[in-house]
Structure 1
Amino acid sequence: MKTSPIRIALIAAMLSFATAGTANAAGCLKGAVVGGVAGHYAGHHAVVGAVGGCMVGRHLAKQHVQQQAQQQAAQRQATQAQ
């Protein structure tokens, strides 16, 4: 019985999600799934795609949180100035 690369990528993503904790996993699972599928179609490199997707997803999620914090701080300053 041969295991499909997508199944391996999903298992790897779930394991990394389970071991990373919820605070560090924002964006990782979604990025791993997208990266795994893209890697599978780009030469059967689903696991490499899943790992890369996890890293990119986590980076983008971190940027999103920082942007939201900056917007909230700017809104607080604007309301305090009035």
Structure 2
Amino acid sequence: MKLAIIGLAMLALTAGPLLSPAPAEAKGCLKGAFVGGVAGHYAGHHAVLGALGGCVVGHHLANEKDKQAPAAAAQGEQAAPAPKGY
């Protein structure tokens, strides 16, 4: 009985990653989680809550930066003078 449970658990653990969807982009989450975790640790031993909050904020800021990048690039192209030929 114990061997059957262990075998079933091993099957579930090895097949799980194969059946899971593709990983999502986590831009900003790792950096935000690190900073939030450190801040939460020093602010009353709430590292996990700080990491969760930091991940959310970091992801949001990365998305905002990505949205602003094409607009800034288009604005830079219009403002740049045309290159002069030799």
TM-score for both structures, normalised by structure 1:
0.63
Counterpart mapping for 1:2-81 below 5 A: 21=24, 23=25, 25-78=26-79
- Percent sequence identity is 58
Q: CA RMSD in A?
A: 2.2
| Residues 48-68 of structure 1: per-residue CA shift (max 9 Å, x gap) | 000000000001101111111
Change (3 A) 1:50 1:20: farther
User: Structure 1 or 2: larger helix share?
Assistant: 1
The structure with higher relative contact order (CA 8 Å, sep 6+) is: 1
Structure 2 unaligned regions, length at least 5: 1-21
Structure 1 unaligned regions, length at least 5: 1-18
Number of residue-to-residue matches in the alignment: 61
Amino acid aligned to 2:53: G
Which is higher, the Rg of structure 1 or of structure 2?
2
Amino acid aligned to 1:50: A
Cα distance in 1 between the residues matched to 2:77 and 2:51: 39
TM-score for both structures, normalised by structure 2:
0.60
